[in-house]
Structures are given as C-alpha cells and as structure tokens.
Chains A and B, each alone.
Chain A
Amino acid sequence: MINLLDALLVIVLAMNLFALGTSRIQSVIRIVATQGALIGIIPLLMHDQLTIPSVLASLAAIILKGIVIPAIMVRALRDAQIKREIEPLIGFLPSILLGAAATAFSLLLTNHLAVTTQAASSLIISTSIASVLTGFIILTTRVKAISQVLGYLVLENGIYIFSLLLVEAIPLVVEMGMLLDLFVTIFVISIITNQINQAFSSMDTRRLSSLKE
C-alpha cells in the first residue's frame, strides 16, 4: 500500500509541473481535476479498515474536485471565449523551473522538520507543501482570472493532502464543511469572473486597476 501511495504522490507532484507549463487553459483544468480526484482516492488507500465516514468524505471530494468544479470552470471558460494564457508574467519554462525548485525545497524542508509519525507521512508533507507553493506560483504569475482560480485550486489540493495525516482530528461534519466552502468559493468566484468578462470584455486581471491610492 505504501508503494502505491508514494507512486500516487509522485504523480501529483508531476501534475504540478504540468499545470505550470501548459498554456491551454482547458488542459490545465483537466490536470487540476485529475489531481483533485487522485488526492480524493488516497485516503481509501491509507487505512486498512474503511469506515463509512471516510468513504463518504472521499467520494464527496472526488465528485466535487473531479467533476463539479471542473464543469463550472469549463463553463466559465466557454462563456469567456478564451483558450490560452497568452502572456504570463514569467514564461512557461521559467515557471516549470521555479516549480521544480519549490518541489526540491519542500523535500529538503521536510527532512529538516521533525517528522514524527507514520512512515508514509514524510512524502505526504513534501507533496502538500510543494503543491501549495505551485499554487502560489500560478496565482502570482498568471493574469487571466480563470488561471488564477486554477492556481487557488492547486493550492487547495496541497492543503487537502496535508489533512490526510490528520484523520482523527477532523470529524466528518468539519470535512464536509470544508468541501462545501470550497464549492461555494468556486461558485461565487465563477460568477464574479463572468461579471469581469462582461464588464471589461476581458479576463485580464491587469485591467482591474482603477482602485488604488
């Protein structure tokens, strides 16, 4: 089981880099959706006995991150009639390199921090931190509103990975609450991106610059 878990985590890490290096937004949506669904499967692999709450939580996460949120995003993309992130603030190759550096950093960091628990946990922590950093890179270097939302989703995926270590601390109600919050966030954000597109005839967030000192 541990080998399979490690393999999945490595795939998650690789997907971060794919997301950083892809300009077609539809492909990025697919990558982020697959990543979210994969992370949803992990809790089912980690425990010997499956309990009903853990299966429920996993299912909810897979449906939400693998199907519902990507559907919302694809729709927003279609409404906006854009296909690519054309002019990111830093190029795609440099951002892959930056992502690789972030991954290496998180692996080193985890070795330094006192990791106290199960054998599997060290790679989980690195993957989590690397994904959070990747999310940050996407958020800060892309200018289209939709791409920034995708960055937020990668960041959220990273945080979700960390929660896999803490099953005892997070009751089902709270876990469902977190997923509900994520869903509503994306729902509200997609309404706003749609409004941005209508009011400014563009998804370029650099146009949102009237409010300043």
Chain B
Amino acid sequence: MAYPLILVPLFIALLAMAFPSDRYRPLLLLPLAVVHLALVIYVLANPALATVSETLVLDPMGKIVLLTVSILFLFCSFYAVGYLRIRSDRSNRIFVACLAAFLGLISLVTWSHHLGLMWVAIEGTTLVTAPLIYFNHSKLSIEATWKYLLVGSVGIAMALLGTFFLAYSSMQDGMTASLSLVELTARAPLLSKPWLRASFILLLIGYGTKMGLAPMHTWKPDAYGEAPVVVGAILAGGVTSGAFLALSRSYQICAASGEGAFASRLLTFMGLFSIAVAGLFMIGQRDFKRMLAYSSVEHMGILALGLGIGGPALFATVLHILTNSMTKGTLFLSAGNIHRAYSSKLTDRVSGAIRRLPLSGSLFLAGFLAITGSPPFGPFISEFGILNGAFASGRYLSAGLFLFFLLVVFIGMGRTVLKVTQGEVPQDLAGTPWKESFLTVAPVLAFMALVLLLGLYIPPPLRDLISSAAAMLENRI
C-alpha cells in the first residue's frame, strides 16, 4: 500500500507541471488530498497492508506522522485553492507541483525503515519546499529561500554523516554494516558505543536543523515570515513532524543499545534551550508571522523535551505531534487572512482584527490560546501530559524550567496576538475591499474543530495507536 501513497502525489506533481491552465491547476490538489487521506485511513484500518517490504513498513510512529500530515494537507489544499485564486498574478505551476511532490516524499519518510532511504526522502522534502518559499519572488523571499536552502542542506548533510556513523557503529566483530531500523534495534547492544554517540549528536544537529531546534533555528523566522502562509503551515506541521520522526528513530536505537540516558540528556537540554530561546524572541515581536515561527521553535523544543523525558511522557509527546500540527494549521491560515486584509504583518499596522475579520480574528485568538496550552484544547492535554511525565520521572528541575518558559511564551506571544486582534481598526483601512471567503475560512474552522475535539475526546482507535507508538519508542514491542 506504500506505493500508491508515494507515487500518486508524485504523478499529480508531474501532471501539474504539464497542465496548461493556471486557473484550474490548483484544483488537482483537492482530489489528491482526499484520495490520500482515504488511503491512509484504509491502511490504518487494515494492519496487514502496513508491511510492503523490508524497507517499506508503516509502524505506529510512522502511522501517526502520516495521518497528521495527510489531514494537514487536506485542509491546506482547500486553502491553497482559495489562495491561488487571489494570487492569479503569477503562475502557480511550480507551486502546485511542489506541493503535490511534498506529499509523496513525506509519505516515503513515514514508510521508510531504511535510514538511508529516509534521509533521501527528508532531503527531498527540503528541496521541493524551497520553491514554495520563493513563491513571491521578492528580494526578501530570495533571502529567506537562500538561508533555508543553505542552512537546511548543510544541516541535513550532517544528518547523512550521522546516518553513516550509525551504519559504521554496526560493523563490529566482522558483522556487515546495516541501516535497516529493525536490524539496528535488534543488534543495538552490540553497536560500537563511541560511534553511536557521535552519530546521535550528528543526527540531533542534522534533523534538529530541519525541525528548527535552537540554536539551528535561524532560517525558520525568515522562511516562515516570507513564505505564503499555506507553506508556513505545511512546514511547521508537516516537514518538522517528518524530521522529528527521523530523530525519534535514532533515539529508539540509542535506547535499545543502553545509551538512552545519553540521548535523553541531550534531548532534554536542546528541548529546554529551544523553548527558552523561542520565548525570548517572542517578547516584543512585532511581526506576527515571525512570531508563529518562534512558536514552532518552541513546540519542536517541547517534542524534543518530551522524547528526552521518555517513559511516562512519551504518550503525550506522540499526541503532541498531532495537536501541534493542527493548531499550527489554525494559526498560520488565520494569520494569512489577517495579513491579506491589512496588507501588513506588523503589529504597528494591524489591530482590531476581530472587528475587521470576525472569523479569522477570533480563530487566531483561539489558536493562540490553544497553542499556549490553555484548556480545553488539544495541546493542553499533550503539554500537560509531558509536564506530568517530567514530574512522574522525578525531573523536577526540567519540569520547573518548562513551566516557567511556557509562562514566558504565553506572555510574549499574548502581547502580540492581543495587539493584532483587539483594539480599533486603523482608519485608513476601513474601506479596503478584501473579504473572508469560504475557501480561506472553512479550513481554519476545520483545524480548530479538530484541535478542540482532541482536547475533549481522543477516539479509542487513535488512543491505541498513540499508545503503541509510545511503546515502540521504548522498544517495548
């Protein structure tokens, strides 16, 4: 079942390249997204389909990320159709093709059980998202794309070196090198320890760059600030989740080889550091799209922290992949509507969004409350679970710092968000014609509904899936 999920999007990408009409080309994304999600649900319901070959296996962690990205892509594709209709000033050929290709490559990431193949696919997602960031063709978007490509490529090159070190660590006592996840976890106790440690550090730097963990996050505010919002949502919810999946694989191997404590120390430190850096840069942030980028840095930090705490926090960490992506969808897409209605993304120019855009403004505010961990939304459950896990495993210092940084983030982000949503609409804007349309608001509402649902009730099949993913991370199955 892996092949349709990977190849159909790539085929649609080719079709989009050949498709002549700018007006109708974006519509290709809709059937693609619907079919993809339908296939994903079909695979999740039929476990027998989850193994194609030794290298293509959809394990519980892969399932969670695949489901997350597929839902994210579905809602984003509706928004993209609405967005591209407004942006009829330039050709969307490359944009649509790259968006479709992204879906195929990220599906390959989730299916790969060969770490080399996984690297190839993740590098592929970097390459197809670069033209998306460049969509506006302005000086600023060139700068953002250059930084994204260069920092991203160097980072991901470090991940490749780390992957090779991992393979080398398995060449002990005349055994042949391997990069198969199953084989590496099975042989984990025999891996050469110094090489394994070096490999974990490189993989953490490499995939950490892709996730945007501090201090490798520098490309992130630029890229998220200049890219169209729908790309921001795909990057913040999709690409980062794929990179986190890759990181969790290397954690899993370390844990199996008895180096779990080493990996967990590094992850905890990087996680807390990212949350702290994000909090600092959010204070006084005037650009609300850059603010969302720092929020993404923060949440990647939370994921790394959760993985570092391990054991009791793992269920919440896996859940956080899903809740973070859905909330990021709400935030980015509603921010995009506000950006367009005001032709600015700076708080000096934008105020009173709730009056001007009642739906998008309120959803932006609700998204802020959700992402900062307020009940009754999904991220509350996952962030609280991670905090609980930290206390349960006796890491009082980490838990205390985590709580403190969350407070800093809440205050910093809150100031910017309230400036945007509250207050009076600037006088000179009152007559600008832009209005909310079904295609640009319905996806945001759908994201928000899911965020709320995840906070109130997690369906039992999803709960079981998350539990088995958490168990897998600890090598309990």
Contact = CB atoms under 8 A, between A and B. Distances in A.
Interface of A: 113-114, 116-117, 132, 139, 145, 148, 152, 155-156, 158-159, 162-163, 165-171, 173-174, 177-178, 180-181, 184-185, 188-189, 192-193, 195-196, 199-200, 205, 208-211, 213
A22 B463 CA distance: 60
A174 B121 CA distance: 10
Given A169-B178, A200-B139, A177 B171 contact: no
B146 interface: yes
Interface stretch (B218-226, B335-343, B414-422): B218-226
Contacts of B55: 171
A209 B176 CA distance: 48
Q: Is the interface of B mostly helix, strand, loop or mixed?
A: helix
A208 B12 CA distance: 35
Contacts of A195: 134, 137, 142
B144 A162 contact: no
A159 B55 CA distance: 23
User: B137, B154, B165, B179 — which one has the most chain A CB atoms within 10 A of its CB?
Assistant: B154
Contact of A181 (B120, B131, B147): B120
A199 B143 CA distance: 10
B140 A210 contact: yes
Nearest to A182: B123
A166 B144 contact: no
Nearest to B121: A177
A199 B160 contact: no
A168 B177 contact: yes
A168 B178 contact: yes
Contacts, number: 126
Given A166-B168, A189-B149, A192-B146, 6 more contacts: A132-B161, A165-B171, A173-B117, A196-B146, A211-B143, A211-B226
A168 B175 CA distance: 10
A163 B162 CA distance: 11
Contact of B127 (A173, A185, A209, A211): A185
Contacts of A173: 117
Contacts of B121: 177
Nearest to A179: B120
Given A159-B157, A195-B142, A188 B149 contact: yes
Nearest to B131: A188
B178 A192 contact: no
B391 interface: no
Contacts of A180: 120
B239 interface: no
B164 A166 contact: yes
